[in-house]
Amino acid sequence: MSRIAGQWAWAPRVLAPATAFLACFLAASSSTAGVPVDSMQRLDPGGVWQAISGEQVARSTAMSPSSPLVDEGRTMTYGVAPPDVFDPSANATTTLGGYTFGLNAFLGADRYYGHTTPITGQNTIATNLEAGFFWNGHETLQHVVTNTTNFISGTSSWGGADIAAKYDRHATWAAMFIGGRETVGGGIYQQGIAYGTDLRSAAIASGWVSPAYALSFNLALESFLVPYEQTFGIADVVNSSYGFSDPGGDDPLSIVMDAYAFQNPNTTYVASAGNSGPSSNTVGSPGSDYNAITVGALTNANTFDTVASFSSRAPQTFAYLSGTTATTIPGVRAAVDISAPGASLVSAFYGGQNGGNNVTLASSTNQGTAVDSYSLGIAGTSFAAPIVAGGATLITSAAKAIPALASNPNATQSVVVKSLLLNGADKTAGWNNGQQSVTVGGTTFIRTTQSLDYAAGAGRMNLDATFDLQVNGQTDVAGTGTGSLGPVMKSGWDYGAAVVGAANDYIISEGLLGGTTFTTTLSWLRNRFFDFDTTEYADVAQADLNVSVWRLDGGNAFTTLVARSESLYNTVEHLSFTLPQSGRYGMRIEYPLNTFDNSTGDVWGTPAFPQDYALSWTAVPEPSHVATVGLAAVAALAARRRRWPPAPRIDRSS
């Protein structure tokens, strides 16, 4: 960040193993929701910051603020989409073959729509939180009523209480991907992923930087904090497609955003990775923070199997703040969680002279406010993120609407939503999370200390696979105790709690075939604190959890380590590998230590303050293997199952 108009802000720090960080804050002391903390800081009430709406990219051509948007060398156009032809620069998502390609179906959303209880986002609130408001005059967004419940901002925001003053092109683009609705006589290109959600908008900009659409805007402390305070804990899903440079995620504003996610665990926060690739350490905040689902962009229209060159990526700096000192460790973190289509897209267009095109800005022109205008061929992680936010909204909607899930409050936890999305993702071209065979102490196993692919995260969002994990597998295990957690199905999820020095074991009750692809994802939140009334904040603690897969013996003992994900600096662990042989397997959650702990007395992770987590897993036999398994093999496997002792049934509610 930069210092603006003579007021204090925070500047990017030089990265070093231990870097002192002096900010403009006041020392304070308190406790964080029952967790004692050694020290706290307080935000500067006069601070003004600058951020970027990173929506579009000129990959090979320099782009001046007034030049046309460029995508892969093609000029991106605005205006009414022609009724009988398609724009060659928008040959995906909504326009291929005359607006017939369905991105929602491609990403598997039809599994939710086609459920006995159709899941479209009902019973949820999804908020797009960024510089300005989306324009609800567009035909796909007219279902959103103009009021201060649906449009949230602080008094110091641009235009004050005037909602229309904050209507913005970028916010309109993003919002349609979350919850736009198809009109009568329209097409599937209008339909957001979660079109049945209660779609809302929150604006944080106190002003925009000239000229029009320069992609930068200013924040005042109040204009920033009020939308977060009035959105988190109310919205089920929040999307933010904006960013500023903070590779380690330790800027005070980054801590505040993470704190809102930690303190409101039923609100899932989704953020764009940024458009500063292909260099590493380029993910910006809030994407570089630790408690959001950070989304990269995919290209190659209609297959979307390759990370776009512009998409920001890791390896990323890890950092934490202790008092006035920031400890930073470069190049050790996988900051991108998942990817989604982020090129050759089509969305609702707003060209009015408000928001980032307001009349006070140089080069501002009225580009039109036709209700049926669309932008063609747009690209950026700003659009991949709301697509994933729509997916997160469908998961939450299912958790509320499907009776088997609706009675379980754990089903809407943000860590559950995240683990389901990541575990269901398809691996993209070149996907590599650093898994390799190692031998330690005479045991050879698969290990990753990276967890996720540096550019693609867990891969491309696949809501079809995610639906099966969420609905048709193990749906949580009773209680949040530790130790042996009893038998589980070969796919599903659990919301649990871990204690330092203890292991949580999951015994898969069904034997698995060798050659099966086994995927498991562990997700948890970093403990960060913020108090809106006092503006006190603290970087409290980060747990270091691992997930491992083991062979079981005849007595269900964990005897042979097969694979382990043990990344010290992430809040996700992820494995996806081929089982070496048929047999019985189990998963173990390990909690050896905290990556850092600023709680007084180092109490984080003790039985009094356990670390909550979500675990998802699935075992998918290779198609060729399944095709060659005859009746004799099935019978043999059944016989082996009968010889295995049944997995013990343990209720961990105590």
Residue 59: pLDDT above 70?
no
Q: What is the mean pLDDT of residues 104-129?
A: 97
Query: Could you give the residue ranges of the DSSP H alpha helices within 180-334?
Result: 221-231, 252-263
Q: Which of 436, 389, 167 is nearest to 267 (CA)?
A: 389
State the maximum Cα–Cα separation within the chain, in Å, rounded to a whole number: 79
User: Three-class SS of residue 597?
Assistant: strand
Q: How confident is residue 54, by pLDDT bands cut at 50, 70 and 90?
A: low
What are 407-445's pLDDT values in tens digits? Answer: 999 999 999 999 999 999 999 999 999 999 999 999 999
- Return the CATH architecture of domain 399-643: Sandwich (2.60)
d(CA 530, CA 651): 36
Q: Count how many residues are written for the chain.
A: 654
What are 378-403's pLDDT values in tens digits? Answer: 888 999 999 999 999 999 999 999 99
Assign residue 518 a region: left if phi > 0, alpha if psi is -120 to 50, beta otherwise? beta
The pLDDT of residue 512 is 97
What are 606-648's pLDDT values in tens digits? Answer: 999 999 999 999 998 866 544 433 333 333 333 333 233 333 3
For CA atoms 268, 272, 278, 280, the dihedral sign is negative
Top-level CATH class of 48-303+316-398?
A: alpha beta
What separation in angstroms does the CA of 610 have from each of 36, 513, 518, 543?
A: 14, 35, 28, 10
What separation in angstroms does the CA of 62 have from each of 69, 181, 222?
A: 10, 35, 35
What would the two tokens of residue 76 be? 């991106």
Matching residue, tokens 């939450």: 396
The full set of domain ranges for the chain reads: 48-303+316-398, 399-643
User: Three-class SS of residue 392?
Assistant: helix
Q: How confident is residue 100, by pLDDT bands cut at 50, 70 and 90?
A: low
What are 285-327's pLDDT values in tens digits? Answer: 999 999 999 999 999 888 999 999 999 999 999 999 998 899 9
DSSP string, 117-165: S--SSTT-EEEEEESSB--TTSTTTTTS--STTTEE--TTSTTTT-SGG
d(CA 434, CA 448): 5
What are 257-287's pLDDT values in tens digits? Answer: 999 999 999 999 999 999 999 999 999 999 9
The pLDDT of residue 187 is 82
Residue 252: pLDDT above 80?
yes
Q: Which of 229, 171, 160, 220 is nearest to 200 (CA)?
A: 171
Residue 336: pLDDT above 80?
yes
Return the higher-pLDDT residue of 357 and 378: 357
- Mean pLDDT, the chain, rounded, equals 84
Where are the strands (E) in 187-236, listed by range? 198-203, 207-208, 216-220
Q: What is the pTM of this model?
A: 0.86
